[in-house]
């Protein structure tokens, strides 16, 4: 089988399998990272997001800023590999690299569009705690004319840097929902990872 094309038969799975989605990306026990450091990281993220959503920039300019924020603060390879799911084990290194690059832009546009809904509002970090092998930093989004809602950031230093690897927005787990959505996109491509990469670029 050529490295530049991989056809995989996948099994369907539901968004309710949050634990299964998180298992791929769940960090090993954080020895160096502390609650304060996790909170400091998310404060930096939140400051950059707040600056972007209230910058008055166009949507396309904001998406560029969101991608830079994502690339700087997120454990992108771990998130991308989790989203690809079982197919990642059979992908070539070239495919994983191309998928991660395409996925980074895709996720920045997707969640950037969600964060653009916060224009005129503010995100505020309210607390942090250790949860088994990672840290959860709790923040609140305060939007004009709407009730505040919860955003939770999961942070680890597994990659060698303090980075976030998951976001939960109003109870919706990014790792779980993305793994389900990317899985459905790959199924439509009959397991063709290269086709999936092209779909992400145009999504």
Q: Give the domain extent around 193.
A: 32-202
Residues ≥6 apart with Cβ < 8 Å to 144: 120, 121
Residue 11 lies in a domain: no
Say whether pLDDT at 46 is over 80: yes
* Confidence (pLDDT) at 155: 97
For residue 98, the tally of other CB atoms under 10 A from its CB is 20
**Could you read off the pLDDT of 125-157 as tens digits, one per residue?**
999 999 988 999 999 999 888 889 999 999 999
User: 135 has which bridge partners?
Assistant: 130, 155
Q: Which range among 5-14, 43-52, 166-175 shows the weakest confidence by mean pLDDT?
A: 5-14
For residue 4, the tally of other CB atoms under 10 A from its CB is 11
User: 125 has which bridge partners?
Assistant: 139
Residue 62 lies in a domain: yes
* Confidence (pLDDT) at 12: 34
* Confidence (pLDDT) at 137: 97
CA pair distance 35, 181, nearest whole angstrom: 32
CA pair distance 28, 126, nearest whole angstrom: 25
82 within 8 A of 21, measured Cβ to Cβ = yes
CA pair distance 26, 158, nearest whole angstrom: 9
Residue 26 lies in a domain: no
Mean pLDDT for 171-199 is 96
Residue 167 lies in a domain: yes
Mean pLDDT for 147-172 is 94
Looking at the structure of the chain, the number of domains it has is 1
Residue 13 lies in a domain: no
84 within 8 A of 182, measured Cβ to Cβ = yes
CATH number at residue 36: 3.10.450.710
**Could you read off the pLDDT of 79-112 as tens digits, one per residue?**
999 999 999 999 999 999 999 999 999 999 998 8
Average pLDDT along the chain: 85
Residue 123 lies in a domain: yes
Residue 51 lies in a domain: yes
73 within 8 A of 171, measured Cβ to Cβ = no
User: 131 has which bridge partners?
Assistant: 134
For residue 156, the tally of other CB atoms under 10 A from its CB is 24
* Confidence (pLDDT) at 26: 46
Angle at 32 between CA 104 and CA 137, to 5 degrees: 55
Residue 10 lies in a domain: no
Tokens for 147, please give them: 């009730």
């Amino acid at each position: 089988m050529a490295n530049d094309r991989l056809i995989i038969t996948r099994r369907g799975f539901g968004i309710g399998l949050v634990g299964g989605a998180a298992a791929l990306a769940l960090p090993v026990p954080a020895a160096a990272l502390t609650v304060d450091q996790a909170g400091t990281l998310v404060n930096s993220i939140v400051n950059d997001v707040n600056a972007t959503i209230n910058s008055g920039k166009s949507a396309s300019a904001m998406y560029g800023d969101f991608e830079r924020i994502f690339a700087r603060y997120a454990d992108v390879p771990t998130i991308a590999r989790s989203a690809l799911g079982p197919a990642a084990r059979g992908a070539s290194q070239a495919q994983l690299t191309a998928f991660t690059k395409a996925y980074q832009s895709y996720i920045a546009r997707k969640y950037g569009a969600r964060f653009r809904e916060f224009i005129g509002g503010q995100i505020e970090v309210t607390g942090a705690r250790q949860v088994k092998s990672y840290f959860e930093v709790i923040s609140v989004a305060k939007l004009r004319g709407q009730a505040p809602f919860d955003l939770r950031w999961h942070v680890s230093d597994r990659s060698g840097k303090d980075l976030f690897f998951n976001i939960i927005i109003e109870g919706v787990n990014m790792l779980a929902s993305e793994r389900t959505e990317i899985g459905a996109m790959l199924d439509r491509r009959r397991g063709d990872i290269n086709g999936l990469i092209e779909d992400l670029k145009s999504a």
